[in-house]
Amino acid sequence: MRYQSFQRLNKTLLMSILVIWLFLGLPTLMPPAIAAVSQTTDLSERITLQFQQTLQDQLGNTWQSTALHRLELKGGSTFYLRLEGIPGTAGISRDQPLTVITAQGQILQAPNISSNIFSNASPVPQLRQYDFSFILPQLNDHHQSIRLSLPTVEGSTIDIGVPGDVVREWKALSSCRALICDGFGAPYD
């Protein structure tokens, strides 16, 4: 009788340890999730892969960044970065390029293509889209952070820091050809 009670106690203890390990220990073995990647296909025979991430500017305001990789089924691709601030933040210039500053101090310019995307005027003055196709290949592969400098309609700038892990995901998204991507889910260096 004592032996059965001892076995039951051991099983209960073992199950408790397993449950605690699953809830506390297992998440530390997995790399952190940064954001979700989604895919859409439209009628013009292109696939759009999206990577969304929330970023903050120098004042602590929240910005939604959406990296868009458009793949034409007949070949070719483009990579865009869409930035949207919360209502009440400064309006972003409709014509000025986005300035990208690397950790090494290199300054790059991404053309503002908002006028091509949104008819007449952007529905939100804090929503702009930039052609990032020529920016990503110029960023190093060491996954270092970058800074985005957005020109406002008032003539000032808004600086948004982009962590190196997000830059790494943008580069991985840009490597996608059809449904084959390099670098997604790879451990961080």
Instruction: For 111-142, write each residue's pLDDT tens digit.
Output: 999 877 766 655 677 889 999 999 988 887 77
The model's pTM:
0.72
160-169 mean pLDDT: 92
Q: Is residue 164 within 8 Å of 129, Cβ to Cβ? A: no
Query: Tell me, what's the pLDDT at 180?
Result: 56
How high does pLDDT run on average in the chain?
76
Q: Could you list the beta-strand ranges (E) of 57-156.
A: 62-72, 77-85, 98-102, 107-110, 127-131, 146-151
Q: Is the pLDDT of residue 18 over 60?
A: no
Query: For 74-93, b where at least 16 C-beta lie within 10 A, e where not — what string?
Result: eeebbbbbbbbbeeebbebb
Question: What percentage of the chain carries pLDDT values higher than 90?
Answer: 34
Tell me the C-alpha distance between 121 and 129, whole Å.
12
Instruction: Give me the torsion for CA of 70, 72, 77, 80, rounded to 10°.
Output: -20
28-53 mean pLDDT: 60
Which letter does DSSP use for residue 144 in this model? -
Tell me the C-alpha distance between 51 and 109, whole Å.
21
